Amino acid sequence: MKSRTVAECGRKMSEKDSHLSDLNMPFSYLAILQIARLYMQSVAHPPSMAWMAALSGADETFDEIFGPQVAARTLETLQKVRLSRRSLFNFNSPTCPSCCQFVTEHERRFMTALDCVRSGATGQAKIELIMLCEGNDVVPALNAMDRLNELIAAFLSSGVRAPKFSDDIARRYM
């Protein structure tokens, strides 16, 4: 685990923040995190129109066939979590080079649940979602995560192309 520091922008890392590399997830899942962050940025700061970057990033990463579907399923999953939670969802800026290297507790729980659904560890996914959704109903979020995972699996097995890891994507997703 990398040490917690003050971000280059001056933001102090929380005790519950962790480094992005600690997630130990495949690139396609790191792309989902960035897409989710862009959607959340768009809600938190509407003039940013970050949702447009979420859509173009999904297309660039998952191609023009799967990209729009992945973007829609990511938004659906966030909405299911949002409707279940009562408090704010803390996220790091997708555009700050320093902040995007760290993962908030809420982002970590979201991504861990998504990864657990992928690997078949539904019980652990439910635990993460119960914590994330503050004890409220997690079934809609769990079902949305299952649909998102099915779509990612379909993309990866389609042979269309593997996610491209260009320097530009690296700056946005890492």
Q: What are 105's two structure tokens? A: 């507790």
Identify the pLDDT of residue 174: 38
- Per-residue tens of pLDDT for the chain, all 174 residues: 444 455 567 777 788 888 888 888 888 999 999 999 999 999 999 999 999 999 999 999 999 999 999 999 999 999 999 999 999 999 999 988 888 889 999 999 999 999 999 999 999 999 999 999 999 999 999 999 999 999 999 998 987 765 554 445 444 543
- Kindly report, residue by residue over 60-110, the tens digit of the pLDDT: 999 999 999 999 999 999 999 999 999 999 999 998 888 888 999 999 999
Measured distance CA(51)–CA(68) in Å, rounded: 12
The pLDDT value recorded for residue 10 is 72
State the pLDDT at residue 170: 40
Amino acid 17: pLDDT: 87
Strand, helix or coil for residue 146: helix
Per-residue pLDDT, 167: 43
What pLDDT is recorded for position 6? 53
Q: How would you label 76-99 residue by residue, b for 16+ Cβ within 10 Å and e otherwise?
A: bbbebbeebeeeebebbbbeeebb
Token pair in block for residue 64: 């023009």
CA–CA gap between residue 70 and residue 93 (Å, rounded): 20
Q: Is the pTM above the cut of 0.85?
A: yes
Per DSSP bridges, beta strands 18-19 and 102-103 are: antiparallel
CA–CA gap between residue 159 and residue 171 (Å, rounded): 25
Instruction: Give the model's pLDDT for residue 163.
Output: 55
Contact 68, 52 (CB under 8 A): no
